[in-house]
Structure 1
């Protein structure tokens, strides 16, 4: 009898392991997150928010306490006030610039704050404090007042993950237009050079004319991002190692390393290509 129970326990354990591995595989393959994953993501984001705000408050209170206790050193207090004044002026200037931006306003922007960034993935992803309850959806563009910084990759109910345009993955290749005079040269951002802090566009036809200073914007093709969102400008044009095509270097307009406040830009559904219609057209063309 004991041998029977031991065998049953082994079977139960093996079944549990198989189910666990299957769930992991499904989670990795799926583009959308399960309710459990969303709950965990929101819980972590809430914890980060709950910790960061009190820490900022306490650090500010302690700083004020020490500064007021040193009555014999009024110059330190004055220096602190001056530094705080300069910070507020810089913030006001930044927010005024963001309020004046015109390119974002037509996309019904969702204002959001960066909650966290993993030091190991600093130039790849970050988490914002807005989710599906705020109208955020996968593949929406994420911007600052300077330009595009990334796109939404995972959406929870109250938080979302953003993949930066500097993320070096094949699935994150961004379709762009290089604006030269009155023509657009189509290309794909292939990689990010972390040392030079530049985006790299490869496989540009040698016949296409591109020069330093040309502006680079989203094309609105092959992805869900709106078209004509500003990314940066060309800093260098050179032939690839085989001399068969051009390699374009682009300096991002927005600082990807220092992000605190961003906007999620919605795309007008009428501008999104109808895949079913395109498929039917292709089928009719074949016939």
Structure 2
């Protein structure tokens, strides 16, 4: 399978080289596709000077935010003939066997729609983000018990249509579009998936990034998604912060 690692990038100059080197170091060949979102820290210039680290790169004409940039990177990979897409962030990194293990599971048992590996935080925190292996829509109306880093078949991504700009809170460059994306995945019936219970994706946590001051944003997100998906069984728990569904555990 030809694998595209799709990466939105804005002001990621200090870290993006580490992510791209980790893509190049994969035991299963993988190719990086980057949508650069009008950085002002030299990210775009650095990428132009290192074309050996990516298979496709474009600079957005205007700011698209995280979700719009992820879609743009995905389109680069699809146009280049990739069979599957792995979603990533510019300031993180991959385990050397991340893609190989995900590809093996994706093709097992007749083939799956997508595969989600566990993730390991590093930096300010060192928790394992452990996704739920048997998620349902009743879980998704509280909080997504799946991380946003996964390997998707081309057909799965195209059927869902990527991330929706309608799921972005007004005034935000990105918040919980992955949550709404998972809802549409389940509505499309693309729920034949597997979770790899080993950290294969490493999430950089920046100083001061973790905070419980997200209650208002969470409530606003729930209200937005209620309007986008009024047919779902939203409950009082859907607006709680912190959410009751915890998919994070402390690393051993």
Q: State the TM bucket, normalised to the shorter chain.
A: under 0.3
Q: What TM-score, normalized to structure 1? A: 0.25
Larger strand share, 1 or 2 = 1
Q: Considering only CA atoms, is the larger Rg found in Structure 1 or Structure 2?
A: 1
Larger helix share, 1 or 2 = 1
Higher relative contact order (CA 8 A, sep 6+): 2
